[in-house]
Amino acid sequence: MIGVLALQGDVREHLRVLEHLGEPARPVLEPADLAGVNGLVLPGGESTTLSLLLSSSGLLGPVGDLLDAGTAVFGTCAGMILLAGEVSDGRPDQAHFGGIDLEVRRNGFGSQAASFECDLEVDALGSPPLHAVFIRAPLVERAGAGVDVLARLPLGPSGSVAGTGSPVLCRQGSVLVSSFHPELTTDTRVHRYFVEMAKGA
Ligand code: GLN
């Protein structure tokens, strides 16, 4: 059973992809919803809002415990920010779990180029390239030695060099993060990869 954190953000889109893969999934609104969950998705949305709602819902501690226990967790965009070790340009009191050794800059592609799309080469997923949608995405400024970078940005927004080569899909052990939104396209390979991770964890 995969849980999708359902406090804010594009929850339905993740549930729809998991349903399409035939994978049992449920929205997670409170700690009791984590019972029996062997994988958790932290969706895109606003990491500052998600941080506040994680506290008020009582889920902050239980999600941290899940990460400590090695349960598979997948964060997309705002979810990536929540999982990173270091966050810049966030709110000073914004919570992040540090489940993956990344330094990310919130909205790091700037306001004009806040949203863009491109094709990514992802060896772990094979061909064809993966079409990726970035919406006010975090920019990975450093990936630790223990992080497996599964995809990098070929070129920055609108072909610019800003962000070129920066990691956009990363894994460290049981934690998977993407700065883009695989739940917004019809390509289900990233979710399938995560479901396999959850089964193996
Ligand atoms: N910029 C958002 C944040 O800081 C993330 C955007 C997204 O999830 N699409 O949380």
Domains and CATH numbers, the chain: 2-200 (3.40.50.880)
From the CA of 65, how far away is ligand 1's center (Å)? 24
Query: Best substitution site from 136, 168, 178, 180 to test ligand 1's pocket, by max atoms within 8 Å of Cβ?
Result: 136
pLDDT in tens, 59-115: 999 999 999 999 999 999 999 999 999 999 999 999 999 999 999 999 998 876 678
Contacts of 52 (CB under 8 A, 6+ apart): none
Q: Which residues of the chain are modeled with pLDDT < 70? A: 112-113, 201
Q: Report the distance separating Cα 185 and Cα 146, nearest Å.
A: 29
Pocket of ligand 1 from Cβ distances under 6 Å: 44-47, 77-78, 81, 106-107, 135-136
Active-site residue (options: 13, 77, 96, 118): 77
* pTM for the whole structure: 0.96
Other CB atoms within 10 Å distance of the CB of residue 148: 14
| pLDDT score at 186 | 95
Nearest residue to 153 (alpha-carbon basis) of 140, 171, 136, 135: 140
